[in-house]
Structure formats: structure tokens, C-alpha cells
Amino acid sequence: KAGVTQTPRYLIKTRGQQVTLSCSPISGHRSVSWYQQTPGQGLQFLFEYFSETQRNKGNFPGRFSGRQFSNSRSEMNVSTLELGDSALYLCASSLNLGANTEAFFGQGTRLTVV
């Protein structure tokens, strides 16, 4: 079956703009988590959604937001982009919120802010 799909794969935006990234989880998976990866900070947790509800949130400013739709697809939005937001944004999906459930990652969206 199809894996986790993230779109777009690459994106270039200007400082001050906003951006929306999309994640389609594996069919049947209801949990989606988002991570930001930068060379300096590594992989950092942004937020997690399950059944259209945000279940966990990382330590990121309010400019970072997300949502999940009834079909489990998720989007994350970053407003007022800063140069430091340049990163690889990764989405992971899992069947449910259980700890004994593998999470599968997409290939990520590489965002460059200029």
C-alpha cells in the first residue's frame, strides 16, 4: 500500500510569507505527527493529531499551526516565515496513539526561506 505522502517536496518562500504543507498518511492510519529537522537542532517534534484533534504540541511559536481532516490528511501552516524556518519538515503516520504501533515517515518537504 502507498506510504506517507508529503507535498510539495520542495518549496522556496520569502521572509514574511506563509506556507502550507500537506501530509497524506498511510490508508487506515489515524495519527499524524509533524517534525522539523534542521542541521543545528536535529529532529524536533511540532505537533500530533488524532481524529482531527491536536493531542500533543512541541515548543514552537504560535506561527506554527496544523490541522487534521476527517480523512486523516493533515496540513501544517507556518505564518510570517523567518529565515530560521528553513528546514526539512517531516510527517509521520501511525495506526493509532498506542506505543506499540510503528510510525512511518514521509520523504519530507524541504522549505527554504529567502
Instruction: List interacting residues with another protein (CB under 8 A).
Output: 4, 31-33, 35, 37, 42-45, 48, 50, 55-56, 58, 88, 90, 92, 94, 97-108, 110
- Output 2 or 102, the one with its CB closest to another protein: 102
The distance of closest approach from Cβ of residue 103 to another protein in the complex, given in angstroms and rounded to an integer, is 7
Report the alpha-carbon distance of residue 89 to residue 24 in Å, rounded.
14
Q: What is the C-alpha separation between 42 and 114, in angstroms, rounded?
A: 21
To the nearest whole angstrom, how small is the minimum distance from the Cβ of residue 106 to another protein?
5
* Cβ at position 102, least distance to another protein in Å: 5
Q: What DSSP string runs through 36-94?
A: EEETTTEEEEEEEEETTEEEEE-S--TTEEEEE-TTS-EEEEE-S--GGG-EEEEEEEE
Residue 54 or 71 having the CB closest to another protein: 54
